[in-house]
């Protein structure tokens, strides 16, 4: 599991650790780790000795880390130049170390044409709001060349706790972060500014609280959660997932949701609705019922919503499913048709899977607001609907009503932004629910497999939703291996 902690909690852990180690030890550890990554980057295109490194140095400890790392590079023969945003406030020890190692300190940027690496040490967890105008100008000019940009702790200008980008911010090729990930490194739009992430251990781990603010499942976590049948399993014990999706107008949504559901670990898929003929033609293994969900037979979880359209039958399907006593996943048109009080009154779990536009409609906000503040939006929805909410998009988030950490999905590709891929996700996640995963696990494992399947089937080229569904078994095998 990859964890992220908010700035307050990082600072509290840092205070506790500082009380136990010699003065300056943490900054030395951070700078040493930073210098190693700088060295690796420089060696990728040449060598450290004789390379030219430009440091952008702010007035706090982020600048201090950067100056000490610059000193280490200068000792290895790199030509290191530091531009200070506030010369009288730069970290005195770091500045002295750089000068003693043969580095230079200037107030002006000078020629950037020959620079091999730009290191952004303007702000870390102490930054507030987007970059100030002076810093913004410096960053714009310093990063106009072809040298890679490495951010120290965070790309300067992004919000560490939320992933928001409230003004101009550094765009880095990589970020070296200290002690723990910060939420902003894992959530877009800030995560897009961070590039490849490197975590440097500075000994903070034992001081951090057990429960992070944010977590991301890794292969082993997902493997441990996959529902795998045992010797005693039969199709009913593995769970039956019901799918109420599609309409005369959108029969394809029924087919795609069933395609996802067939690969999610449930023992059988039951379909209820007007897409029965289309479903059976494509997937003869499905149990179909052309009428309403409550008459379709028993299931262990329902998926309702994809492609339902606006008919009175679709409203009945949503109400039927919400009245059941099994876990329910509501997606797409179902989110529009559901009665909020009926959702809140449910005793079995409910999972809502909106994209940013649907989330905005549920919150009465603008889509851009949701996209800019994904973490706040997903938490707010989970609390308002007393549900588990999977907010789709460039970083998919899963929040549950209560104080469990929000999960951020580390897989996926922007090629997933294709019609019908959300239908596959809802079927897959519903199937995991029917197989017995708790709602937060079902949603995060569903998003993980879906994103991995998309990466596998896309491999850098456009994919269709059905390709994603077909690649789910390969993604499952990847994880399980
Ligand atoms: N925590 C840990 O365990 C460890 C932390 N470590 C390191 O310390 C870093 C935190 O250092 P920090 O607290 O000194 O704050 P920092 O990020 O340097 O920035 C604050 C300065 O920036 C300025 N400034 C603010 N906003 C701005 C803006 N929008 N645009 C431009 N400038 C802006 C503001 O200036 P002022 O308001 O005074 O003018 C303020 O002085 C952390 O990220 C990590 O790198 C490691 O050494 C080891 C262990
Ligand atoms: N820019 C993006 N990067 C990565 N994944 C994305 C991006 N945009 C959308 N997705 C993913 O693609 C899927 C689209 O689902 P959805 O919006 O419901 O589409 P549809 O309704 O057409 O099925 C979701 O899994 C979502 O997380
Ligand atoms: K920085």
Q: How many residues are recorded in the chain?
A: 481
Task: Provide the pLDDT for residue 214.
Answer: 98
Q: Is 423 annotated as a binding residue?
A: yes
Q: 459: helix, coil or strand?
A: coil
How many whole angstroms from 372 Cα to the centroid of ligand 3? 20
Task: Compute the average pLDDT of residues 237-265.
Answer: 96
Res. 107: pLDDT tops 90: no
Task: Compute the average pLDDT of residues 26-37.
Answer: 98
Res. 223: pLDDT tops 90: yes
Name residues whose C-beta falls within 8 Å of residue 14's C-beta, 6 or more positions apart in sequence.
26, 179, 204, 207
Q: Is 130 annotated as a binding residue?
A: yes
Choose among 345, 395, 339: nearest CA to 362: 339
Task: Provide the pLDDT for residue 455.
Answer: 97
- Look over the chain and give the mean of its residue pLDDT values, rounded to a whole number: 97
8 A C-beta contact, residue 325 and residue 341:
no
396 lines ligand 2 (CB under 6 A): yes
ipTM of predicted complex: 0.95
Task: Compute the average pLDDT of residues 406-415.
Answer: 96
How many whole angstroms from 223 Cα to the centroid of ligand 3? 35
Choose among 303, 301, 244, 310: nearest CA to 274: 244
- Class of 219-480 in CATH: alpha beta
Q: Whose CA is nearest to atom 3 of ligand 1?
A: 14
Q: What is the CATH number of domain 2-215?
A: 3.40.50.10260
Ligand 1 surroundings by CB, under 6 angstroms: 10-11, 14, 26-27, 30, 58-63, 65, 122-129, 131-132, 135, 152-153, 178-179, 202, 204
| CA distance linking residue 167 with residue 479, whole number of Å | 39
287-343 pLDDT per residue, tens: 999 999 999 999 999 999 999 999 999 999 999 999 999 999 999 999 999 999 999
| CA distance linking residue 30 with residue 65, whole number of Å | 6
157-195 pLDDT per residue, tens: 999 999 999 999 999 999 999 999 999 999 999 999 999
Task: Provide the pLDDT for residue 383.
Answer: 98
Task: Compute the average pLDDT of residues 272-279.
Answer: 96
Res. 237: pLDDT tops 90: no
Q: Which of these ranges, 112-116, 119-123, 354-358, has the smallest mean pLDDT?
A: 112-116
| CA distance linking residue 81 with residue 209, whole number of Å | 39
Q: Give the DSSP letter of residue 354.
A: -
Choose among 181, 247, 255: nearest CA to 218: 181
Res. 230: pLDDT tops 90: no
- Entry pTM: 0.96
361-405 pLDDT per residue, tens: 999 999 999 999 999 999 999 999 999 999 999 999 999 999 999
Task: Provide the pLDDT for residue 232.
Answer: 81
Domain ranges across the chain: 2-215, 219-480
How many whole angstroms from 208 Cα to the centroid of ligand 1? 20
Q: Whose CA is nearest to atom 49 of ligand 1?
A: 26
For a mutational test of ligand 2's pocket, the pick from 360, 393, 408, i.e. the residue with the most ligand atoms closer than 8 A to its C-beta, is 393
| CA distance linking residue 427 with residue 349, whole number of Å | 16
């Amino acid at each position: 599991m990859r964890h992220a902690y908010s700035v307050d909690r990082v600072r509290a852990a840092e205070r506790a650790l500082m009380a136990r180690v010699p003065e300056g030890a943490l900054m030395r550890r951070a700078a040493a780790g930073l210098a190693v990554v700088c060295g690796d980057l420089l060696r990728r295109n040449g060598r450290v000795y004789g390379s030219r490194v430009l440091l952008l140095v702010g007035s706090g400890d982020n600048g201090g880390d950067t100056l000490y790392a610059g000193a280490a590079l200068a000792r290895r023969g790199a030509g290191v130049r530091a531009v200070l945003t506030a010369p009288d406030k730069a970290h005195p020890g770091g500045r002295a170390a750089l000068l003693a190692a043969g580095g230079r300190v200037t107030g002006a940027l000078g020629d950037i044409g020959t620079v091999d690496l730009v290191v952004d040490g303007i702000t870390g967890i102490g930054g507030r709001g987007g970059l100030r105008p002076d810093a913004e100008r410096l960053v714009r000019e310093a990063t106009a060349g072809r040298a890679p940009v490495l951010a120290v702790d965070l790309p300067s200008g992004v919000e560490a706790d939320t992933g928001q980008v409230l003004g101009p911010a550094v765009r880095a090729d990589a970020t070296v972060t200290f002690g723990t990930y910060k939420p902003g490194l894992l959530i877009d739009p800030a995560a897009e500014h961070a590039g490849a992430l490197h975590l440097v251990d500075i000994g903070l781990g034992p001081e951090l609280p057990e429960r992070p603010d944010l977590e991301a499942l890794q292969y082993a976590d997902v493997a441990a959660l996959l529902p795998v049948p045992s010797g005693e399993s039969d199709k009913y014990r593995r769970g039956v997932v019901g799918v109420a999706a599609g309409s005369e107008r959108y029969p394809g949504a029924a087919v795609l949701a069933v395609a996802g559901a067939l690969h999610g670990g449930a023992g059988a898929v039951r379909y209820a609705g007007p897409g029965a003929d289309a479903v059976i033609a494509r997937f003869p293994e499905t149990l179909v019922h052309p009428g309403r969900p409550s008459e379709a037979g028993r299931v262990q979880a329902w998926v309702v919503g994809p492609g339902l359209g606006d008919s009175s039958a679709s409203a009945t399907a949503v109400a039927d499913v919400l009245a059941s006593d099994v876990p329910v996943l509501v997606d797409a048109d179902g989110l529009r048709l559901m009665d909020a009080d009926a959702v809140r009154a449910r005793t079995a779990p409910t999972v809502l899977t909106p994209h940013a536009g649907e989330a905005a409609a549920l919150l009465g906000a603008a889509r851009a607001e949701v996209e800019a503040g994904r973490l706040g939006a997903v938490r707010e929805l989970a609390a308002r609907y007393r549900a588990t909410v999977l907010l789709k998009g460039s970083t998919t988030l899963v929040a549950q009503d209560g104080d469990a950490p929000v999960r951020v999905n580390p897989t996926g590709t922007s090629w997933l932004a294709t019609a019908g891929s959300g239908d596959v996700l809802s079927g897959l996640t519903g199937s995991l629910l029917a197989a017995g995963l708790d709602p937060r696990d079902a949603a995060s494992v569903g998003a993980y497999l879906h994103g991995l399947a998309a990466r596998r089937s896309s491999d850098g080229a456009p994919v269709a939703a059905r390709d994603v569904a077909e690649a789910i078994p390969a993604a499952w095998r990847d994880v399980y291996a």
